[in-house]
Structure 1
């Protein structure tokens, strides 16, 4: 047995104490590092949620204005409440879409925070990727609630000839103004997307065929009233062709409904453009 002197014992205790202190410092350093990472993650989440909260605040403001005008009896109050709940559920679903997109495209998180992954950069409308997810989601919701859903496909007539005459910048101006018009003339619950080129798609939840067709006809007529100018040059004679389809009457899937609306649009163009055509009923053999 080796006996240590008091000084040796003290030195040994100091050594052990220092080692324990160093170990605690290292542990604290790791905890601080983890806290900083968590803070960064929280800041990103807060910024994203802040953007969505602003949109939700705007939608709720619009809904409140509608409530003040429509609440006259118990039935209307219940209907309006269901409408607000649907909007809130849509916002939740939109956040889920953003989360899915964030996971799929982790290398462009900064762009996602500014809606660049779900917005068309030219018009500011929802893009084709968002459209496909939203149409599937709305069809599923309509099927679950046993409600109808309208789809309107809009295409600018003779857009290539327009570009050749006035230039592509003037064409971009027309697309932007048309996008703003379609968004302004739609209900808060409707979804307006730029499908591609000069083609747009509107999704109208809980709309009958007659309501959808009437809205399409209204848009067609009002587009011709737009007064646009590119510099000092008036951009006149802008018309649109429109195809209309309804779930579940014209199809029971998102792809089927869109294809039927697109086929109706093709017929509108082949029949002379500047008109609304409703999809034909599918034939089952």
Structure 2
């Protein structure tokens, strides 16, 4: 229902006409501008005022306060004298000795125009908001194409998002997969404060951020002092006084991967639903960025391939052996391992240089892959040593596989395309679980010992510990 202020319309006829013209609308009457007393929530959609009110001492203040509110100014005479100070303000409609129908028509017209202006302003604000959001997405996308460092991506997300909702401080808490706790991923604020906050960890359900992570529900809290979930310990530790708070879960594939926590607006007003809507629209984009960066970081920390040969590295080998030994135990099958060392590899480096030596190792790795099954795993153990894991393979079969590889290496001519025709051999050691080894460590040690037995005796041979 539209709210209308009626000011200074004392004559009974005018009052009746206004009442008739404003049917279905809420009218608040005032004797004069000077006598106006109303609450902020009672602000009008339209003001109907007598022209004589321009003589009031508070008229200028009234014009300033109601500048963007449409005004219908009524006059008993047909004279235009004294109207100039009214019509210089926008959305002012002057009526001279009007009938009830004229007033009704003007009220409808004024309210329609106000609605159009309000809608236009709302669309303009939405356009500005969308433009800022597009800028946010563009900058995050550029950051993603230029770096996969989690710290850089979080910094971009925080800087732009903080600007969108005019926040004072901002933190992103990420879920620690090992402990199930929230740990600071990135924090804004004074350096000494952020250093203290980086040490903090929150359990699920602890504080507002912990509650949001546990429930998966975003919250806007205009005043944290009246919310029993708010944990004051962080404020005490950092000296920051949190007033208003907005907390949003970051989800990926239905799982919580973190929480965005935004504290205090720079305008010193509480966060609103509109602020939450903005953040919710960017959260999915942020989740993709964080997940991608986190995955890259994990892969960087737990890289599974050797840089030179692109075979699996020792880290992957170690994990694979644990898995395959458990599987062999469950299925009561054998797991065999071949330890291989290239014979006289040092001579290749000495005679042809390390670049040729590296190319030889790459070609050697490719030869091994071609001679093995798809379920077998080849890893570079270091230098010129390779380890081959043979799932579901008993000792006799492993011995035969090692011999086949030995012959392939002996018969192969390496680096022909590079202008070299190098002949190579290798020494092999074989061990099996559970026949000779009782653990992962046993398997590696026994195969290694078997290989060295060949290396220090005949070279170019295979020895199996059974």
Short-chain TM bin: 0.5 to 0.7
Residue of structure 2 aligned with 1:142, choices 328, 333, 341: 328
Shift of 1:264: 0.2
In the alignment, structure 1 residue 272 sits paired with structure 2 residue 301: no
Q: With the length of structure 1 as denominator, give the TM-score of the two structures.
A: 0.67
| Aligned-partner Cα distance in 2 for 1:247–1:223 | 26
Aligned residues between the structures: 211
1:29 Cα offset (Å): 1.9
- 1:12 aligns to what? 41
Higher helix share: 1
Any idea what the Cα deviations from partners look like across 1:122-163, whole Å, max 9, x if unmatched?
001000100011011101110111110110011000111121
CA contact (8 A) 2:429 2:464 kept: yes
Please list the CA deviations of residues 71-120 of structure 1 after superposition, one character each: whole Å capped at 9, or x if unmatched. Answer: xxxxxxxxxxxxxxxxxxxxxxxxxxxxxxx7xxx7835747xxx80000
1:130 maps to 316
What is the rounded CA distance, in whole Å, between the counterparts of 1:196 and 1:268 in structure 2? Answer: 19
Relative to structure 1, is the Cα distance of residues 161 and 107 closer, same or farther in structure 2, using a 3 angstrom cutoff? Answer: same
1:108 aligns with 2:137: no
Q: Given the superposition, is the C-alpha separation of residues 11 and 147 from structure 1 closer, same or farther in structure 2, using an over 3 Å criterion?
A: same
**Rounded Cα–Cα distance in structure 2 between residues aligned with 1:273 and 1:11:** 94
Residues 221-240 of structure 1 mapped to structure 2, 5 A cutoff: 221-229=407-415, 231-236=418-423, 238-240=424-426
CA distance in 1, matches of 2:326, 2:439: 8
* TM superposition shift of 1:13: 3.7
**Secondary structure of the structure 2 residue equivalent to 1:142:** helix
Structure 2 partner of 1:89: none
More strand by share: 2
Query: Greater relative contact order: 1 or 2 (C-alpha under 8 angstroms, separation 6 or more)?
Result: 1
The alpha-carbon deviation at position 232 of structure 1 amounts to 2.4
Q: Does 1:37 align with 2:286?
A: yes
Mapped to 2, the partners of 1:5 and 1:271 lie a distance apart of 112
TM-score (norm 2): 0.42
Structure 1 segments of 4+ aligned residues over 6 angstroms from their partners: 4-7, 19-22
Residue in 1 aligned with 2:104?
A: none
Question: Once structures 1 and 2 are overlaid, which stretch shifts more, 168-177 or 220-229?
Answer: 220-229
Match of 2:397 in 1: 211
2:141 alignment counterpart: none
The Cα shift of 1:265 comes to 0.3
Greater C-alpha radius of gyration: 2
Structure 2 CA distance for aligned equivalents of residues 128 and 265 of structure 1 = 18
CA distance in 2 between partners of 1:21 and 1:9 (Å): 23
- Find out whether 1:158 has 2:344 as its counterpart: yes
SS class of match (2:356): helix
SS at match of 1:233: coil
Q: Which residue in the other structure is 2:103 paired with?
A: none
Distance 1:226 1:14 in 2: 91
Distance, in Å, in 2 between the alignment partners of 1:255 and 1:129 is 14
Does structure 1 retain, via aligned residues, the 8 Å contact 2:360–2:415?
Answer: no
Distance in 2 between the 1:213 and 1:5 partners?
A: 103
Unpaired runs of 5+ residues, structure 2, are: 1-27, 31-35, 45-221, 223-268
Per the alignment, do residues 217 and 22 of structure 1 end up closer, same or farther by CA in structure 2, a change over 3 Å counting? Answer: closer
> 1:25 — aligned with what?
274
Aligned-pair distance for 1:225?
A: 1.7
